[in-house]
Structure 1
Amino acid sequence: MKTPWLKTVIAVAAGALSTQALAAGFALNEQSISGMGTSFAGRSSSADDATTLFGNPAGMARLKREEVSFGVAALHAKTDIKNSSGTFSGPAVGGQTVPYGGSNDGDMVPFTAVPMGYYVKPIDDKWAVGVGVYVPFGLATDYESGYEGRYFGDYSEVAVITVQPTVSYRFNEKLSIGFGPTINHIEGELQSASPGGAAGDGRVKVTGDDTALGFNAGLLYEFTPHTRAGITYHSKVKYKLEGDTKLSGAGFDQYAAAGIQVSGKYDASLDLDTPESIDVSITHDLNDQWTLYAGAMWTRWSRFEAIIIENEGIPAIVGGNLDPIVEDQDWHDTWSYAIGAAYKLNRNWTLRTGLAFDQSPTNNVHRSPRIPSGDRTAISFGLAWNPTDDVTVDLAYTYLQEEEVDVSRSRSYQNGALVANYDATFENSAHGFGAALSYRF
């Protein structure tokens, strides 16, 4: 029992912490389809449309007309799993190493679509206000029934939905600032198996949610009418997830014969801080047709040092009261880098492309099959169509390839009498798609 509970809660945190476009765990973090076309190079300096409310709220001051933008991003991912093995060891199996069965199909990420929407209204030459709704963090993994790594997590679904009212102010022709508080709601559902001996596996299902506040702030400086630079700060958000752990299945039902009720629901909570990030970028209009972008983002993943779980009432026969549980994570701070370009064919059509490199915050010691990610490289292509001066349709495509990484997990059950082990090599890739419609009043 102890390990599945711990792993499912860790997966809530890891999924919630997944950031960047198509990032670790294949989180969807697309807040701008126009930005997606350049791999988010220039995200804090381009200020081309209402999606700048997220990329850099100071950029709203550059918009000349009232604008609304709606979009959707989707992900189709593929995972190759090889060199896998699952074994039990310890006194419960006579001190030997005994293999257990399971599959490794690797089709763990369902096709997922995430919506976004923005509204910006210039008040005068200096002030602009707006509001955005977007998904900054998310995770969806669903391994097949009987997955070999099921004792370390076989189902995860986590999402953070954010509402951001925002204001910007333009001091002069060069300097603008912007600020927006964020209202963030997180929900998660995670499942894993628990070995129950001859009776069969039990199942652990954890659900929880919370709402918390943060903020985004940005500064935009225009060196010339053709060159501008931006910096955006996304604050950490402090959550306290409240929910329950549900134990079910033959592995837990078997204790009823001894008069001990194990199957059922138990109160659970988790304190979690999502990390702050700083995005810097530069945009340069080379001429009337070409625009160049470059950017970098730093994320303070080192905040994620350990998970501390508080829960109540779990019977000692399946692992003690587990109050609290502490497991080190030791994630490290990361940088992501991107370059991009846009080419304006004519007044109606614009082509975009970009290349990005993202570091993974995970390490070989603590990497989980829920988040089996490594450093990644992405290439993107985008297209903007302006049928009129009032309407823009943006389309984008991203291909992402991750480095090959190893997962090696060992956890104790039955107060140390049984140890489950899982080793495998993962290689992930993904196709991202995006479409958006912007209308100017």
Structure 2
Amino acid sequence: MKTTWLKTALAVAVGALSTQAMAAGFALNEQSISGMGTSFAGRSSSADDATTLFGNPAGMSRLKREEVSFGMAAIHAKTDIKNNSGSFSSPVPSLNAPINGSNDGDMVPFTAVPMGYYVKPIDDKWAVGVGVYVPFGLVTDYESGYQGRYFGDYSEVRVITVQPTVSYRFNEKLSVGFGPTINRIDGELQSASPNAGSLGSNDGRVKVTGNDTALGFNAGVLYEFTPQTRAGVTYHSKVKYKLEGDTKLSGPGFDVTGASGKYDASLNLDTPESVDVSLTHELNDRWTLYGGAMWTRWSRFEAIIIENEGLPSGPLNPIVEEQDWHDTWSYAIGAAYKLNREWTLRTGLAFDQSPTNNLHRSPRIPTGDRTAISLGLAWNPTDDVTVDLAYSYLREEEVDISRSRTYSGGLLEADYDATFKNRAHGFGAALSYRF
């Protein structure tokens, strides 16, 4: 019987759609499908399953049995682009021209966001575990001929984290947890470069790739005021990367100047620290309420500055894209209702500030403040198996992009203006098995 239920649950879990997940900036929320059902309210205090290893490592001490959990998050996103315009301007009259191109807005491809956790209680005080998840990620892939192509038409950033973790329970009320994180980042940025001899066509291409591995840590405290009420605080450290890779220049414009080729490149990038605070209260045998807030230090992300060895100083060395992001807060409330032993329903509402600003917002991350409403379902066919399903609808405020960049020693300026509005349907599925 257990084998039959496990196979059924596994089929449901891996049948989730695979697509790009989004959150504020290039952070991802999707490290827990059970948490997704409540819009991640109570993330640092719920400690319901092995995904607490990320949400609050101190919560591992609440798990009574050895447990493995894995899942996948997905999102189907749509962007409307309007009020768009683009132009070249120059003191040389012959170089004044419009920038033509499309603004389809279909730039979020299908990409999987997986997660997996294992927790083993050692005794009534100690627990150990390991998790693999994706804390940061971004893919924007505009159509060929996108009007804003000179300011970024392909961007991909992916961080994969492995976190070995330990937790300790001092007494019935206080638990702590800690886990170092091993983080692998891979990035690719592409944009077009105008060809002064044939403006708007025969563009050059700039492609930058790089990667690095760096260390960080997660730490948490869980305090249980009563058996029904608990609060948690989780700190996710910043991680400092130096991506090493190359910049490739290609196309007719670079061929004419002799700049075509591949150059060693480097980029310093810090992913921000965050503090998550939440409260979980079991109102009665059926209802559980959640609330939480998270602060993220996005102000560390001031600019993308790519140094290219072998290129003379100029617009491509260094490549500079100002960001000037600011710190953000996100807030969430949620509830769970236990229908019976097998079925639990969840729902949640979240508000997430965007770190971007009107002056430096880029087509690479054209996001604004967002609101999300979520629904979740947990199925427990046996005491050993839980299948979690979740759905979220996300809507972002309308934001403006206004970018300009100079070329040819300041003789040519490219400008692009547009209004973006994003919305998305998110899906998630996960399987937890207790031994």
TM over 0.5: yes
Among residues 289, 300, 317, which one is paired with 2:286 in the alignment?
289
Structure 2 residue aligned with 1:338: 332
For 2:35 and 2:319, the matched residues in 1 are separated by 41
Alignment of 1:241-260 (within 5 A): 241-255=243-257
- Which residue identity does 1:33 align to in structure 2? I
Structure 1 residue aligned with 2:357: 363
Tell me the matched-pair count: 412
1:59 aligns with 2:59: yes
Among residues 306, 311, 322, which one is paired with 1:309 in the alignment?
306
For 1:348 and 1:415, the matched residues in 2 are separated by 68
For 2:132 and 2:413, the matched residues in 1 are separated by 45
For 1:289 and 1:104, the matched residues in 2 are separated by 49
- Relative to structure 1, the CA distance from residue 25 to residue 330 in structure 2 (aligned partners, 3 Å threshold; closer, same or farther) is closer
* Deviation sequence 1:330-363 (CA, Å, 0-9, x none): 2111100000000000000000000000000110
How far 1:171 moved relative to its partner? 0.2
For 1:246 and 1:326, the matched residues in 2 are separated by 16
Structure 1 residue aligned with 2:5: none
Among residues 228, 231, 238, which one is paired with 1:229 in the alignment?
231
How far 1:94 moved relative to its partner? 4.6
Structure 1 residue aligned with 2:172: 173
- Which residue identity does 2:347 align to in structure 1? T
Task: Give the secondary structure class of the aligned counterpart of 2:61.
Answer: helix
Task: Give the secondary structure class of the aligned counterpart of 1:34.
Answer: helix
How far 1:328 moved relative to its partner? 4.2
Q: TM-score, normalised by structure 2?
A: 0.92
Task: Give the secondary structure class of the aligned counterpart of 2:326.
Answer: coil
Alignment of 1:153-232 (within 5 A): 153-199=152-198, 200-232=202-234
Structure 2 residue aligned with 1:14: none
How far 1:22 moved relative to its partner? 2.8
For 2:263 and 2:238, the matched residues in 1 are separated by 29
* Deviation sequence 1:372-426 (CA, Å, 0-9, x none): 1110000000000000000000000111000000000011011101000000000
For 1:271 and 1:56, the matched residues in 2 are separated by 29
How far 1:119 moved relative to its partner? 0.1
Among residues 296, 300, 313, which one is paired with 1:299 in the alignment?
296
Structure 2 residue aligned with 1:123: 122
- Which residue identity does 1:390 align to in structure 2? D
How far 1:159 moved relative to its partner? 0.3
How far 1:326 moved relative to its partner? 5.3
* Deviation sequence 1:2-28 (CA, Å, 0-9, x none): xxxxxxxxxxxxxxxxxxx73136754
For 1:267 and 1:366, the matched residues in 2 are separated by 27
How far 1:95 moved relative to its partner? 7.4
Among residues 377, 394, 399, which one is paired with 2:371 in the alignment?
377
Contact conserved, 2:315 with 2:407, CA < 8 A, in 1?
no
Contact conserved, 2:169 with 2:176, CA < 8 A, in 1?
yes
Task: Give the secondary structure class of the aligned counterpart of 1:302.
Answer: helix
- Relative to structure 1, the CA distance from residue 229 to residue 136 in structure 2 (aligned partners, 3 Å threshold; closer, same or farther) is same
* Deviation sequence 1:230-269 (CA, Å, 0-9, x none): 00000000000000000111221223xxxxx311100110
Q: TM-score, normalised by structure 1?
A: 0.91
Contact conserved, 2:25 with 2:354, CA < 8 A, in 1?
no
Structure 1 residue aligned with 2:388: 394
1:32 aligns with 2:32: yes
List gaps (5 residues or longer) in structure 1: 1-20, 256-260
Structure 2 residue aligned with 1:275: 272
How far 1:320 moved relative to its partner? 6.2
Contact conserved, 1:137 with 1:159, CA < 8 A, in 2?
yes
Contact conserved, 2:25 with 2:356, CA < 8 A, in 1?
no
- Which residue identity does 1:281 align to in structure 2? S
Contact conserved, 1:25 with 1:370, CA < 8 A, in 2?
no
- Relative to structure 1, the CA distance from residue 177 to residue 26 in structure 2 (aligned partners, 3 Å threshold; closer, same or farther) is closer
For 1:85 and 1:306, the matched residues in 2 are separated by 25
How far 1:315 moved relative to its partner? 4.7
Contact conserved, 2:335 with 2:346, CA < 8 A, in 1?
yes
Among residues 402, 425, 431, which one is paired with 1:431 in the alignment?
425
Structure 2 residue aligned with 1:81: 81
Structure 2 residue aligned with 1:44: 44
How far 1:75 moved relative to its partner? 1.4
How far 1:100 moved relative to its partner? 1.7
How far 1:302 moved relative to its partner? 1.5
For 2:109 and 2:319, the matched residues in 1 are separated by 31
List gaps (5 residues or longer) in structure 2: 1-20
Task: Give the secondary structure class of the aligned counterpart of 2:293.
Answer: strand
For 1:42 and 1:22, the matched residues in 2 are separated by 20
Alignment of 1:92-111 (within 5 A): 92-94=92-94, 96=96, 98-111=97-110
- Relative to structure 1, the CA distance from residue 320 to residue 68 in structure 2 (aligned partners, 3 Å threshold; closer, same or farther) is closer
- Relative to structure 1, the CA distance from residue 241 to residue 251 in structure 2 (aligned partners, 3 Å threshold; closer, same or farther) is same
- Which residue identity does 1:368 align to in structure 2? S
Contact conserved, 2:185 with 2:211, CA < 8 A, in 1?
yes
Contact conserved, 2:405 with 2:414, CA < 8 A, in 1?
yes
Task: Give the secondary structure class of the aligned counterpart of 1:197.
Answer: coil
For 1:292 and 1:345, the matched residues in 2 are separated by 15
- Which residue identity does 2:406 align to in structure 1? S
How far 1:304 moved relative to its partner? 1.9
For 1:391 and 1:397, the matched residues in 2 are separated by 20
For 2:115 and 2:250, the matched residues in 1 are separated by 37
RMSD: 1.5
Contact conserved, 2:181 with 2:216, CA < 8 A, in 1?
yes
Among residues 255, 261, 265, which one is paired with 1:264 in the alignment?
261
For 1:149 and 1:327, the matched residues in 2 are separated by 14
Task: Give the secondary structure class of the aligned counterpart of 2:197.
Answer: helix
- Which residue identity does 2:69 align to in structure 1? S
How far 1:93 moved relative to its partner? 3.8
For 2:369 and 2:348, the matched residues in 1 are separated by 17
